[in-house]
Amino acid sequence: MRSEAIAVLATALAVAACGSPKTTDDPKAAMDANFKMVLQAWFDEHPDCVKLDRSGSLPIERSTSRQVDKPGLDAGVSAGLLSIKPLAGDRVRYTPTEVGKDAVRDGDRFLRGVDLCYARRDIQAVENFTEPTDAAGVKATRVTYRYTLKDVAPWASNPAIAAAFPAITEAVAKPLSTDADDLILTDKGWAHHRALR
């Protein structure tokens, strides 16, 4: 009797495993491996950044009397990421240097401004995710994950950068961080919600 029960249980588990769509071959399956892959692909293309200038775009032109974002811009000059050129009147122009050309870039089209990018996320593991639900006509899930930083820019430890952007110093000092992002199910599989803007 006991051996029959074990055989029935083993058969049920085998059938369940065979019929499960939750393999990495199914990009639409709600599972850790798919979410980790989508998050890593997103962060490989979208580094971690801080806002260098909240309202401008490259090249940054502004009045010398404007104090908003000035400490960060001055830190960028001090670290060799930006050059500064006087213009007519009290205006100056900040332009990325050769060293800063990969780090200083226009922000995304919705948040605007100019970003200073210092590292990329390396997704270590998916901790959990919400049950995918329909929201505003799409199926979405919130994924919580752990990550480390890779490709940290050598200038990230520059004293002027550290003073102007303590968030960079804090982020780089953490051996492991946790964050959460929303993923949306598309006809091709899961995608980071910002990829659909």
d(CA 179, CA 14): 35
pLDDT, one tens digit per residue, over 136-172 is 889 999 999 999 999 999 999 999 999 999 999 999 9
* Pairing relationship of beta strands 82-86 and 104-106 according to DSSP bridges: unpaired
d(CA 28, CA 192): 13
Residue 143 near residue 180 (C-beta atoms within 8 A):
yes
Residue 124 near residue 150 (C-beta atoms within 8 A):
no
Q: Which of 65, 64, 95, 72 is nearest to 166 (CA)?
A: 72
Q: Which of 157, 161, 158, 160 is nearest to 173 (CA)?
A: 157
pLDDT, one tens digit per residue, over 168-193 is 999 999 999 999 999 999 999 999 99
Who contacts 29 (Cβ-Cβ below 8 Å, separation ≥6)? 21, 22, 23
The predicted model scores a pTM of: 0.81
Residue 120 near residue 148 (C-beta atoms within 8 A):
no
Instruction: Tell me the three state secondary structure of residue 41.
Output: helix
Average predicted confidence (pLDDT) for the chain: 88
pLDDT, one tens digit per residue, over 62-97 is 998 888 889 999 999 999 999 999 999 999 999 999
Phi, psi of 179 (to 5 degrees): -150, 175
Q: Is the pLDDT reported for residue 12 higher than 60?
A: no
Would you give the DSSP letter of residue 54? Answer: S
Residue 95 near residue 83 (C-beta atoms within 8 A):
yes
